[in-house]
């Protein structure tokens, strides 16, 4: 296996070096081919995501294939403009030179995906890498096998193996096999922080640049002046989407003590309204991916008083949308990323109290604040460093391709989406062009006596 894959990687390197992936016409053609293949496999994608995660077609469209197609269309609309050399100004020292920044493809890049949005989180980096003119190795998660099989069919029926190579299998085995023996030009990884560290170390051995899109424990603050009805609706919508298995789901709520009772009441109402009395039978409600995740998330149910929910079924990997009260700050549910449909509700009376809780898990992937005061909004955004943020909303920032999406610190490094994906997969090459008709002697030795003029020019 390693030899076979290394031969394929060497073939990709030669293919990239031939220059065929660089022209605009080629990139555009490949993006259109990818779009057509994804559209042609629409029903297969829905069926696979239902099998893996019990997602409805509507949820798939918003968060998986429709999300991806919207980003692809946006990229197609801007690609020519993004590929243009960027003219920049030239400082006095270098006049009359001119300066520009060229975006060059990186080469052969590796994209590694997780299982929670198995299609979108592998194909969105792919489209950015294609747009930037690279060859791409795709490693899907082995834990969403139905979706992985459809993606393999799409890739292998659309692209040659020396251009886009699909490598399924156990990540702990196939990724080191590749990264230990081949120098990728970039590794784009989405997944847990624990595995992110392993990837970072492997990449460091060969000085391979990385983008790490990692986990998060994203706090959601509900201020005393928040619109409680809207806050409850939006929190429930995103927290329990995909049964809570979303990297930017609100992980826990910090509500101002004066509004706790009202918020809990509204959250319960919204859960019932969206998922009914029996969420297990709701078309709008998903399941946990596998037994391992099911066991991990059910263990949190005992770490607080249940304000709502708490039922589960191991046979169907179902866990009810659950609200927890009285959780201890040192309990695992407050130390680990929950990544499931369990929402601890904590209260605060001063911002300092809430900030002290947030500080236990610094630099979250996202931060949410519900408030009607722009002053409070500013104070909260200033006080909580995070990858991204929403005001009076949760998670939707990631659906705008004009915004960079990524974490900081333990929630990741680098960003993507739209133009940011194109930049992530491009090298910014600085070019200065200097005419030959002007070549002042001042620049050349002997330098003695020129300090005054140097100080005037370089300041
Ligand atoms: P994971 O880290 O278990 O797996 C991700 C990928 O890494 C898979 O393709 C897997 O095969 C591979 N892998 C696993 N072990 C490996 C090893 N030892 N060496 C090399 N590769 C290995 O993550 P997951 O459980 O699939 O995803 C859930 C996590 O991902 C959560 O923490 C979630 O927050 C995070 N996530 C982040 C984002 C984001 O955009 N920031 C999006 C989705 C999920």
- Residue pLDDT, tens place only, 172-193: 999 999 999 999 999 999 999 9
The residue whose CA has the least distance to atom 18 of ligand 1 is 172
CA–CA dist 39, 349 (Å, integer): 51
Q: 108 and 33 in one domain?
A: yes
- For residue 105, what are the β-bridge partners? 426
Q: 13 and 121 in one domain?
A: yes
- Backbone φ, ψ for residue 410 (5° rounding): -70, -10
- Backbone φ, ψ for residue 288 (5° rounding): -75, 155
Please tell me the total count of domains within the chain.
2
CATH number at residue 227: 3.40.309.10
Q: 128 and 249 in one domain?
A: no
231 within domain boundaries: yes
Q: What's the CA-to-centroid distance between 259 and ligand 1, angstroms?
A: 36
CATH number at residue 92: 3.40.605.10
Q: Quick check: 348 and 320 in contact, CB under 8 A?
A: no
What's the mean pLDDT when you consider all of the chain?
A: 97
Contacts of 392 (CB under 8 A, 6+ apart): 226, 227, 230, 231, 234, 369, 370, 371
79 within domain boundaries: yes
CA–CA dist 127, 138 (Å, integer): 11
How sure is the predictor about 2, in pLDDT bands with cuts at 50, 70 and 90? low
How sure is the predictor about 342, in pLDDT bands with cuts at 50, 70 and 90? very high
Q: 53 and 119 in one domain?
A: yes
- The preferred substitution site among 184, 191, 196 for testing ligand 1, maximizing ligand atoms within 8 Å of CB, is 191
* Strands 108-112 and 186-190, bridge-based pairing: parallel
The whole-model pTM stands at 0.96
Q: 253 and 185 in one domain?
A: no
Q: 387 and 240 in one domain?
A: yes
Q: 193 and 149 in one domain?
A: yes
3-state SS class at 241:
helix
Q: Quick check: 367 and 218 in contact, CB under 8 A?
A: yes
State mean pLDDT over 144-162.
98
Q: 421 and 394 in one domain?
A: no
User: Which helix (H) or strand (E) is 53 found in, with range?
Assistant: helix 42-53
**Which structural domain, as residue segments, surrounds residue 29?**
3-214+412-431
Q: Quick check: 64 and 109 in contact, CB under 8 A?
A: no
* Catalytic site includes residue 135: no
3-state SS class at 300:
helix
456 within domain boundaries: no
Number of H helices, E strands in the chain: 17, 18
- The preferred substitution site among 195, 336, 404, 420 for testing ligand 1, maximizing ligand atoms within 8 Å of CB, is 195
176 within domain boundaries: yes
Q: What's the CA-to-centroid distance between 340 and ligand 1, angstroms?
A: 15
443 within domain boundaries: no
User: What are the helix (H) ranges across 257-301?
Assistant: 260-275, 291-298
Token pair of 225 as six digits: 């002046």
How sure is the predictor about 260, in pLDDT bands with cuts at 50, 70 and 90? very high
Q: Which atom of ligand 1 is nearest to the CA of 141?
A: 9
3-state SS class at 305:
strand
126 within domain boundaries: yes
Q: 417 and 380 in one domain?
A: no
Chain Cα centroid distance, residue 291:
25
Q: 419 and 315 in one domain?
A: no
- For residue 108, what are the β-bridge partners? 135
295 within domain boundaries: yes
Q: Which of 59, 71, 162, 213 is catalytic?
A: 213
Residue that is last in its domain, among 377, 399, 421: 399
Token pair of 242 as six digits: 């995909």
User: What are the helix (H) ranges across 85-170?
Assistant: 120-131, 145-158
Say which DSSP state 20 is in: T
Say which DSSP state 99 is in: E
pLDDT above 90: residue 1 = no
Say which DSSP state 416 is in: B
The residue whose CA has the least distance to atom 33 of ligand 1 is 215
36 within domain boundaries: yes
Give pLDDT, residue 3.
81
User: What are the helix (H) ranges across 85-180?
Assistant: 120-131, 145-158, 171-179
pLDDT in tens, 21-36: 999 999 999 999 999 9
Q: What's the CA-to-centroid distance between 265 and ligand 1, angstroms?
A: 35
Residues of the chain with pLDDT > 90, as a percent, come to 99
State mean pLDDT over 331-335.
97
Q: Quick check: 224 and 377 in contact, CB under 8 A?
A: no
Give pLDDT, residue 216.
80
Give pLDDT, residue 215.
87
CA–CA dist 203, 182 (Å, integer): 10
Give pLDDT, residue 39.
98
pLDDT in tens, 43-76: 999 999 999 999 999 999 999 999 999 999 999 9
pLDDT in tens, 75-129: 999 999 999 999 999 999 999 999 999 999 999 999 999 999 999 999 999 999 9
Q: What's the CA-to-centroid distance between 213 and ligand 1, angstroms?
A: 9
Q: Which atom of ligand 1 is nearest to the CA of 405?
A: 40
Omega of the bond prior to 19 within 30 degrees of 0, cis?
Answer: no
Q: 278 and 170 in one domain?
A: no
Q: Which of 60, 220, 247, 390 is catalytic?
A: 247
Q: 223 and 207 in one domain?
A: no
Q: What's the CA-to-centroid distance between 261 and ligand 1, angstroms?
A: 36
* Catalytic site includes residue 247: yes
When computed from its CA atoms, the radius of gyration of the chain, rounded to whole angstroms, is: 25
pLDDT: which is higher, 38 or 3: 38
Q: Ligand 1: list residues with CB < 6 Å.
A: 112-116, 121, 139, 141-142, 171-172, 175, 190-192, 195, 198, 213-216, 247, 337, 339, 365, 407, 412
State mean pLDDT over 434-442.
94
């Amino acid at each position: 296996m390693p030899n076979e894959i290394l031969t394929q990687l060497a073939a990709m390197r030669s293919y990239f070096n031939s220059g065929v992936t660089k022209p605009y016409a080629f990139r555009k053609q490949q993006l259109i081919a990818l779009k057509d293949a994804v559209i042609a496999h629409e029903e297969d994608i829905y069926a696979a995501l239902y099998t893996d995660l019990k997602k409805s077609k509507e949820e798939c469209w918003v968060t998986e294939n429709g999300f991806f197609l919207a980003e692809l269309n946006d990229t197609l609309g801007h690609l020519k403009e993004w590929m243009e050399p960027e003219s920049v100004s030239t400082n006095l020292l270098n006049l009359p030179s001119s300066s520009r920044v060229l975006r060059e493809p990186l080469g052969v890049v590796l994209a590694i995906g997780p299982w929670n949005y198995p299609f979108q989180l592998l194909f969105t980096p792919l489209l950015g890498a294609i747009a930037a003119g690279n060859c791409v190795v795709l490693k899907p998660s082995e834990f969403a096998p139905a979706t992985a099989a459809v993606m393999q069919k799409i890739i292998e029926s659309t692209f040659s193996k020396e251009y886009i190579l699909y490598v399924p299998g156990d990540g702990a085995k196939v990724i080191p096999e590749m990264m230990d023996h081949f120098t990728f030009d970039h590794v784009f990884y989405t997944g847990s922080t624990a595995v992110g560290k392993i990837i970072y170390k492997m990449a460091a051995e060969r000085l391979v640049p990385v983008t790490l899109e990692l986990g998060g424990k994203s706090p959601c603050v509900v201020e005393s002046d928040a619109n409680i009805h809207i806050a409850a609706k939006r929190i429930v919508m995103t927290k329990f989407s995909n049964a809570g298995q979303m990297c930017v789901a609100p992980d826990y709520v910090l509500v101002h003590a004066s509004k706790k009772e009202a918020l809990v009441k509204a959250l319960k109402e919204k859960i019932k309204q969206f998922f009914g009395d029996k969420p297990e039978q709701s078309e709008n409600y998903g399941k946990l991916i596998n037994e391992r995740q099911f066991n991990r998330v059910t263990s949190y149910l005992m770490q607080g008083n249940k304000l709502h929910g708490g039922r589960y079924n191991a046979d169907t990997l179902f866990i009810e949308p659950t609200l927890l009260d009285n959780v201890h700050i040192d309990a695992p549910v407050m130390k680990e990323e929950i990544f499931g449909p369990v929402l601890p509700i904590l209260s605060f009376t001063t911002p300092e109290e809430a900030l002290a809780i947030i500080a236990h898990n610094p630099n979250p992937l996202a931060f949410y604040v519900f408030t009607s005061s722009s002053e409070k909004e500013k104070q909260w955004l200033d006080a909580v460093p995070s990858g991204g943020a929403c005001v009076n909303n949760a998670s939707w920032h990631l659906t705008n391709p004009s915004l960079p999406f990524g974490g900081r610190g333990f929630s990741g490094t680098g960003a993507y989406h739209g133009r940011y994906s194109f930049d992530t997969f491009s090298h910014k090459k600085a070019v200065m062009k200097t005419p030959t008709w002007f070549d002042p002697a001042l620049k050349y030795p002997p330098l003695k006596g020129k300090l005054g003029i140097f100080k005037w020019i370089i300041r």
